[in-house]
Structure formats: structure tokens, C-alpha cells
Amino acid sequence: GAVVSQHPSRVICKSGTSVKIECRSLDFQATTMFWYRQFPKQSLMLMATSNEGSKATYEQGVEKDKFLINHASLTLSTLTVTSAHPEDSSFYICSARRWRANTEAFFGQGTRLTVV
Amino acid sequence: AQTVTQSQPEMSVQEAETVTLSCTYDTSESDYYLFWYKQPPSRQMILVIRQEAYKQQNATENRFSVNFQKAAKSFSLKISDSQLGDAAMYFCAYLDGATNKLIFGTGTLLAVQP
């Protein structure tokens, strides 16, 4: 089956610093990757859609300058949380779809970000 | 805009029994995909079952089956012979064909009692 690897699984950073989260499709090409944020016991909230070779599309209310997304290749998308604050602490999940197969999405294992 | 509603925040089932999780959605599209995802305590999202709207036959995957009522815009998940490992958060999701976005419901936390 298709595998999406997300790294790191956990990260603790100091307030004011930046942290990068990677999302890789290991055995397929993903033209589109999605980034979600999930608060405890809540649903997944879509933050942005990342398309290879073009700018990401952000959902309403998501600060694009704070959550920088780069999708430089068909197998890698990154989310950088800039100038992190404690309120950015959350669980971040990426997902990817296969090239030319716009149905099932495969999810990474998620990243728990704690800003202290 | 499409919406997905899960009206049961929590459910409980005895081991080996059957449980049904409810999901309704709203869309003006005629062709779309619906999914049930499972999120265990590890928080890894796992696809449970998928249904194409143009297929009248309900999808089935081993102990998991759906009751897809297109006219009623209902997509419930039935888990038969429940096992302890089925305990998880279950999310119903709708795939917006125009944007390729998955729209998730609020989730149902399923507990399985031994």
C-alpha cells in the first residue's frame, strides 16, 4: 500500500523559533498534499492544499506567513511554523493523493508540536 | 458548501456485538466519494471503507459495511463482531471533486467493552 512518512513525530521548540515538518510519499508520486491541524478530541481542520510546483492554497483564517508550505517535488511537502507561539502547539497531519488518482488520501503519522 | 455531520460524539459496544455509526452529508453534486476513517490512540488515520456515489451497491470490507442512502444523503458505518482493536475515533469524510479536499465530520469516539 501507499506510505506517507511524516517527520518528526514529536517536536518541542522555544517560543519565537521556527520548526519544519516534512511529509514524504515514499512509494508514489503525489501532485497534491494537504496539511491539517487537529486539536485534542476534535476533527481534522484543513489548513492548506499544497500543489507541486505552485503556491499553496490556504484555508480562510490560516496565516500564510506563519505557516509556510513548500511542495518542491512530487514526493515532498514541508510545513514550516514560523515564530512559533504556545498557541501553535497542536497535532499536525499531512496527507497525499496519488498522481492521477483523486480518490483515496494517505495520511502521515502526524507531528505533535509543543511550543514552550 | 458541503458539510458532513456525525451526530454521535461517543458510542459504546460490547465485544462481538454490532454497532452502527451515523453520518449525514450535504452536497449538490451527483458524483462524489465518501469515506470512513479510523483514528486509534496512535492518531494514525486509517482508511476503513470507501463508497463511490455512482455505485448503488453498499461497500463492504470484512466486518465493516456501509448503508449508503444517496437520496437521504446518509452514509452509516456498521461494524460487526466488534473487537477491542476497533476502539478508536471514527471520522466520516466527503471528497469534494472540484477541490480535491476531504471534508471531515466531527467524529465518533467508539469504545469497545470486553
* Per-residue pLDDT tens digits for A80-108: 999 999 999 999 999 998 766 557 789 99
- CA B105 to chain A, closest CA, distance in angstroms equals 7
Q: Could you tell me the three cell numbers for A97?
A: 493523493
* Residue of A44, A103, A110 with shortest CB distance to B104: A44
User: Percentage of chain B with pLDDT > 70?
Assistant: 100
How far lies B72's CA from each of A13, B8, B28, B77, in Å?
48, 18, 12, 15
Residue that wins the pLDDT comparison between A105 and B86:
B86
pLDDT at A113: 98
pLDDT at B99: 80
* Residue of A41, A103, A107 with shortest CB distance to B95: A103
Cβ <8 Å between A49 and B101: yes
Task: Report how far residue B44's alpha carbon sits from residue B68's, in angstroms, rounded to the nearest whole number.
Answer: 25
Residues 35-64 of A with CB under 8 A from B: 38, 41-44, 46, 49
| Cα B99–Cα B101–Cα B103 angle in degrees, nearest 5 | 130
Is 90 exceeded by the pLDDT of residue B50?
yes
Query: What sections of chain B are H helices per DSSP?
Result: none
pLDDT at B1: 74
Cβ <8 Å between A104 and B47: yes
Q: Strand (E) positions, A29-75?
A: 32-38, 44-51, 57-58, 67-73
Band of residue A1 on the pLDDT scale cut at 50, 70, 90: low
Q: Average pLDDT, whole number, for chain A?
A: 92
pLDDT at A104: 79
Task: Report how far residue A85's alpha carbon sits from residue A69's, in angstroms, rounded to the nearest whole number.
Answer: 18
Cβ <8 Å between A104 and B43: no
Q: Average pLDDT, whole number, for chain B?
A: 95
Is 70 exceeded by the pLDDT of residue B58?
yes
